[in-house]
């Protein structure tokens, strides 16, 4: 199986190679086969990308927003037309089942392009009456932005950053995760084919040091990272040196609370989606499932029966519901957490083993207590912890007792309780009787250690533009000297 791109990087509207960069391989996690060989960006490549972005940005910002939108609309259409091809590429790079990538990855990227294409021409400033004088505001692009992505949703992350950045007149240099380098290049090809002028969307490959080179460059006005909290701390600190704006989409350990009056089938389905979709490699996953003790047994019975039916196997077979983890390193990490869970006294009721290679079975622990490692740390694998609770105040206190604050969910038929609870949950995104749905219309992001800023929705405007205030003097200058 090969998915070799024409070259490692995409800069100034074309593929670019520099074989002086460190060589690395992209593997198909289901089999370990090498699907592509690439090179990390050398300082010369990083320089070329930033220079291309800086050169192209001013002309792009000067175009009428409706024109920028038209190009992004075209890109969304091409993406949808190529959905299968892009989905196969994403499946090869990440190991996620085709059943998922066909509906969740490029499709969500196309949604973002479409949404921000339509949003761009609606952006306006304010007029501020000041008596004789007046002021007005302009929404200006930030300039050159740097995007750094994680490996779980590579094309979606690239598109969620590219779409608002480009719509509002910025240029972007994007560094995908070294583990999943391929689909950002496909997005660059599509944007170029749609008519995006050269230099506005550039892709440079490499590990953390390439990301760091972007974050510290004086030409970069804004940095958007999707990644773990430890990386977020480093990138945020480095961006602060240059007083650069940031968006930080980081990790989580989110609570999903199931009350005794919930529709249990729906709650079980949501808990499974929120722990096993993408082999559990989703930042917002509700990995701490708090279930009312009154329905705990019934919940577990349904959960275990449905979990055992999950079809694991060849990700390219559309009947497969669960593929491998993204890498052997990640699979080892997850198995390490499962072993910790057992050692610390949690009860393994389902899964727990690795059938082969990077595969890890969907795993359910019960009798989990708040102090256990599996209830405190982000595992980023198919491992669900079920915790029993007795009353509302108690469960809210326990749900909030974490440094993370990315997401949270509540299942109950009592709508007053549902709204009361989400009002008290410390999370950037909450779901009532649903879980893990992140439509582009809705702002997305975390609080506490889970992040800063928001992607998607109207909120993204704040993070890819800045406000210029203009005071207009309408009379004589009143100088006392
Ligand atoms: P990492 O934090 O390891 O890496 C994220 C990106 O940052 C990668 O491209 C990585 O490069 C790069 N990077 C690493 N160090 C630096 C540095 N010093 N300066 C600049 N860039 C750097 O995350 P993972 O890729 O392992 O992704 C999993 C994490 O991402 C989980 O914690 C998950 O919760 C989070 N995530 C958050 C989401 C959100 O929207 N809130 C969504 C998806 C994931 P490389 O890996 O190539 O070395």
Supply the pLDDT for residue 1.
78
151 lines ligand 1 (CB under 6 A): yes
> pLDDT of 330-379, one tens digit each?
999 999 999 999 999 999 999 999 999 999 999 999 999 999 999 999 99
211 lines ligand 1 (CB under 6 A): yes
Catalytically active residues, by annotation: 161, 249, 283, 455
Supply the pLDDT for residue 446.
98
The arithmetic mean of pLDDT across residues 300-327, rounded, is 98
Residue 98 has pLDDT above 90, yes or no: yes
> pLDDT of 39-96, one tens digit each?
999 999 999 999 999 999 999 999 999 999 999 999 999 999 999 999 999 999 999 9
Q: Which atom of ligand 1 is nearest to the CA of 151?
A: 25
> pLDDT of 255-307, one tens digit each?
999 999 999 999 999 999 999 999 999 999 999 999 999 999 999 999 999 99
> pLDDT of 202-229, one tens digit each?
999 999 999 999 999 999 999 999 999 9
Beginning with the edge strand found earlier in the chain, give each strand of the sheet holding 9-11 in spatial order.
14-16, 9-11, 201-203, 171-175, 144-148, 220-226, 245-249, 451-452
Q: How far is the CA of 444 from the centre of ligand 1 (A)?
A: 17
pTM for this prediction: 0.97
Supply the pLDDT for residue 331.
98
> pLDDT of 118-168, one tens digit each?
999 999 999 999 999 999 999 999 999 999 999 999 999 999 999 999 999
Please choose from 9, 208, 212 the residue to mutate so as to test ligand 1's pocket, defined by most ligand atoms within 8 A of CB.
208
Take atom 17 of ligand 1 and give the residue whose Cα is closest.
208
Average pLDDT, the chain: 98
Please choose from 154, 216, 231 the residue to mutate so as to test ligand 1's pocket, defined by most ligand atoms within 8 A of CB.
231
The pair of structure tokens assigned to 442 is 């809705």
Residue 381 has pLDDT above 90, yes or no: yes
């Amino acid at each position: 199986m090969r998915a070799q791109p024409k070259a490692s990087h995409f800069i100034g509207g074309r593929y670019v190679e520099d074989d002086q960069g460190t060589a690395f391989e992209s593997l198909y996690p289901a089999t370990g086969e090498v699907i592509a060989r690439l090179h990390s960006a050398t300082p010369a490549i990083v320089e070329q990308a930033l220079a291309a972005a800086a050169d192209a940005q001013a002309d792009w910002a000067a175009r009428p927003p409706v024109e920028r939108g038209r190009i992004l609309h075209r890109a969304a259409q091409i993406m949808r037309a190529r959905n299968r091809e892009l989905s196969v590429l994403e499946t090869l790079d990440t190991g996620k089942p085709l059943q998922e990538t066909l509906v969740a990855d490029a499709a969500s990227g196309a949604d973002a392009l479409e949404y921000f294409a339509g949003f761009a021409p609606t952006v306006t400033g304010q007029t501020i009456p000041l008596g004789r004088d007046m002021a007005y505001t302009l929404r200006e692009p930030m300039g050159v932005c740097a995007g750094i992505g994680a490996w779980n949703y590579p094309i979606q992350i690239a598109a969620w950053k590219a779409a608002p950045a480009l719509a509002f007149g910025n240029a972007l240099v994007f560094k995908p995760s070294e583990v999943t380098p391929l689909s950002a290049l496909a997005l660059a090809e599509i944007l170029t084919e749609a008519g995006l002028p050269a230099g506005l969307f550039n892709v440079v490959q490499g590990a953390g040091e390439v990301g760091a080179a972007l974050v510290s460059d004086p030409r970069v006005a804004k940095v958007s990272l999707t990644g773990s909290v430890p990386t977020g701390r480093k990138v945020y600190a480095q961006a602060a040196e240059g007083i650069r704006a940031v968006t930080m989409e980081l990790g989580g350990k989110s609570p999903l609370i199931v009350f005794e009056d919930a529709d249990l089938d729906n709650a079980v389905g949501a808990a499974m989606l929120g722990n096993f979709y993408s082999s559990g490699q989703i930042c917002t996953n509700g990995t701490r499932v708090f279930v009312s003790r009154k329905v705990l047994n019934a919940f577990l019975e349904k959960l275990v029966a449905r979990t055992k039916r999950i079809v694991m196997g060849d990700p390219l077979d559309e009947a497969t519901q669960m593929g491998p983890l993204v890498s052997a390193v990640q699979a080892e990490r997850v198995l390490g957490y499962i072993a910790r869970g057992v050692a610390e006294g949690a009860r393994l009721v389902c899964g727990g083993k690795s059938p082969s290679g990077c595969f890890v079975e969907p795993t359910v622990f019960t009798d989990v207590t708040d102090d256990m490692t599996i209830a405190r740390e982000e595992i980023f694998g198919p491992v669900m912890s079920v915790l029993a609770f007795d009353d509302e105040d108690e469960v809210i206190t326990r749900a909030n007792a974490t440094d993370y604050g990315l997401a949270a969910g509540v299942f109950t038929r009592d709508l007053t309780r549902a709204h009361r609870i989400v009002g008290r949950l410390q999370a950037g995104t909450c779901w009532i009787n649903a879980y893990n749905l992140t439509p582009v219309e809705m702002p997305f992001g975390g609080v506490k250690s889970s992040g800063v800023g928001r992607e998607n929705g109207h909120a993204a405007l704040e993070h890819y533009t800045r406000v210029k205030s203009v005071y207009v003097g309408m009379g004589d200058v009143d100088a006392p000297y």
